[in-house]
């Protein structure tokens, strides 16, 4: 599972591998764009398709739910049938689903198309990372390549709202989905020429029961956490999260007993992998929760439009992108525990700055804080993916990649739910009066309440953002100390140690 010190130097990647990496960056860019590009189109499609409030939520959420639910299954499927084959199948499905979404004539059709987009997206992410592992054998080149791939994913999150806003200025709402059609067509043409095929020599059988259980577990937890974030703590979402945890426990037990598991649980016995997954979770919680709250702060407190808010998020995303590549070089010279700690502490300082905000006139303070948060955490997310994938045997890299990506998806959902619920509790506790119109700051704005009541609601929301930021900063600081302690004996680029 690990490379020995006396092994011959691995072959370095050439022009074909780097061109292949460029092709693999395309689906990463599109998958992340489709997570954000729809938000600006919601008003226009609401007028055209007239969805109910429940249908509109499913239009927005079903894509991310399907990606998270199918990642593990698709990662294992790629190991068995071939990663390039699964990637190309997913690319074709993504292109078709994009066209269906663009020309949907009803809310039901759009929900189905978005669900298909999510399933197709779940085939793309683990396949691309697994192929990078197969194409780049030199550890430094592999780390650099995964960092570039991760940068393309984050770039999609940054440019998605901007491209969507530009398209909606001139075209109908469905145009935001058509971006994927020519890009996936290019991947289908060039991919077979530059991407190698790789599959497990001993594929075994696909555990369909385990796949269904994994899907049900992830979807239950994602839905429950999403409901808690949007509507507060209630019995149905708590039952959904509890059911998801029970199913996850059953899934783990089944994987331990299965001769052909979807996930190789032996990876968790490796200290570096276990800590990396923990850092992935904590980092995703921080980015997901604070990103969710600051997006509302920018629009509801500062008063920016969605497009303006997206533009102000470019500096933080740019900082994360720019720090990812240098971090990929540092990790081979500095102990991973130290690298993790520096990133986590940097993000904690940024969150502490956001925690000083007191009103709508401190936009610069919030943006500077977010620059430190994204600049500190995004390199760690890329580094965590690299460590987990590198520790897996070659025939299991697809499943290992899916494990790291599922961890991030659940971390983001947990961050939105936990930090969002904490901020909501502070918000409601700070209101001078309680009413249905004041249940959220958004509803207070929409109800056109008296200015003094709206100002009190804005102040209460800002208090919630401040408390959530400071709690998150403390959690990251504790995580930094744990990373240093747990990885104190792990050297730069060291093999993953079992414990």
Check residues 386 and 357 and name the one with the higher pLDDT. Answer: 357
CA gap 269, 196 in Å, rounded? 31
Q: How far is CA 240 from CA 60, 211, 212, 221, 237, in A?
A: 19, 18, 16, 6, 5
Nearest in space to 350 (alpha carbons), one of 413, 294, 412, 418: 294
28 touches 124 (CB < 8 A): yes
Report the percent of the chain where pLDDT is more than 70.
88
Q: Is pLDDT above 70 for 394? A: no
The SS3 call for residue 498 is strand
Q: What is the pLDDT of residues 19-69, one digit of tens each?
A: 888 888 888 888 777 767 776 677 778 778 888 766 776 787 788 778 877
CA gap 187, 235 in Å, rounded? 45
pTM score of the predicted model: 0.77
Nearest in space to 84 (alpha carbons), one of 154, 143, 20, 15: 20
The SS3 call for residue 382 is helix
Residue 218 makes CB contacts below 8 A (sequence gap 6+) with 68, 69, 71, 72, 244, 406, 409, 410
pLDDT category, 118, cuts 50, 70, 90? confident
141 touches 107 (CB < 8 A): no
Residue 45 makes CB contacts below 8 A (sequence gap 6+) with 51, 59, 110, 173, 174
Please give the DSSP secondary-structure letter assigned to residue 300: I
Residue 370 makes CB contacts below 8 A (sequence gap 6+) with 290, 294, 313, 315, 316, 350, 354
Which of 16-20, 62-66, 185-189 reaches the highest mean pLDDT? Answer: 185-189
218 touches 244 (CB < 8 A): yes
Please give the DSSP secondary-structure letter assigned to residue 105: -
Helix (H) / strand (E) element for 278: namely: helix 271-296
């Amino acid at each position: 599972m690990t490379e020995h010190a006396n092994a011959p130097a691995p072959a370095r990647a050439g022009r074909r591998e780097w061109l292949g990496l460029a092709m693999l960056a395309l689906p990463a860019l599109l998958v992340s764009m489709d997570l954000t590009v729809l938000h600006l189109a919601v008003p226009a499609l609401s007028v055209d398709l007239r969805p109910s409030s429940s249908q509109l939520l499913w239009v927005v959420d079903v894509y991310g739910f399907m990606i998270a639910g199918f990642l593990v299954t698709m990662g294992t499927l790629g190991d068995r049938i071939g990663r390039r084959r699964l990637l190309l199948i997913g690319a074709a499905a993504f292109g078709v689903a994009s066209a269906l979404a663009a020309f949907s004539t009803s809310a039901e059709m759009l929900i189905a198309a978005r669900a298909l987009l999510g399933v197709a997206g779940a085939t793309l992410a683990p396949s691309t990372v697994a192929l990078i592992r197969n194409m780049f054998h030199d550890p430094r080149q592999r780390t650099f390549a995964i960092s570039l791939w991760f940068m393309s994913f984050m770039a999609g999150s940054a440019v998605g709202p901007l491209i969507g806003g530009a398209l909606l200025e001139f075209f109908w709402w469905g145009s935001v989905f058509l971006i994927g059609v020519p890009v996936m067509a290019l991947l289908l043409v060039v991919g077979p020429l530059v991407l190698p095929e790789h599959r497990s020599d001993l594929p075994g059988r696909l555990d369909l029961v385990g796949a269904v259980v994994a899907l049900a577990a992830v979807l239950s937890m994602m839905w429950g956490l999403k409901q808690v974030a949007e509507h507060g703590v209630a019995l149905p979402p708590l039952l959904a999260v509890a059911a998801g945890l029970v199913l996850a426990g059953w899934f783990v037990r089944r994987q331990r007993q299965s001769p052909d598991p979807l996930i190789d649980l032996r990876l968790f016995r490796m200290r570096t992998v276990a800590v990396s997954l923990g850092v992935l979770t904590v980092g995703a919680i921080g980015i997901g929760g604070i990103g969710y709250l600051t997006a509302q702060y920018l629009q509801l407190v500062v008063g920016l439009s969605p497009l303006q808010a997206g533009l102000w998020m470019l500096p933080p995303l740019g900082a994360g992108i720019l720090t990812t590549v240098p971090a990929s070089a540092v990790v081979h010279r500095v102990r991973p525990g130290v690298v993790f700690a520096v990133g986590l502490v940097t993000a904690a300082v940024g969150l502490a700055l956001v925690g000083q905000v007191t009103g709508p006139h401190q936009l610069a303070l919030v943006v500077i804080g977010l620059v430190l948060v994204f600049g500190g955490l995004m390199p760690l997310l890329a580094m965590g993916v690299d460590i987990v994938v590198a520790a897996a045997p070659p025939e299991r890299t697809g499943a290992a990649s899916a494990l790291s990506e599922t961890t991030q998806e659940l971390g983001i959902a947990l961050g939105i739910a936990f930090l969002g619920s904490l901020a909501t509790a502070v918000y409601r506790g700070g209101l001078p009066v309680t009413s249905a119109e004041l249940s959220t700051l958004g509803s207070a704005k929409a109800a056109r309440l008296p200015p003094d009541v709206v100002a009190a609601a804005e102040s209460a929301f800002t208090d919630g953002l401040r408390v959530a930021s400071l709690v998150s900063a403390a959690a990251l600081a504790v995580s930094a100390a744990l990373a240093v302690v747990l990885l104190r004996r792990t050297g730069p680029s060291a093999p993953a140690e079992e414990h």
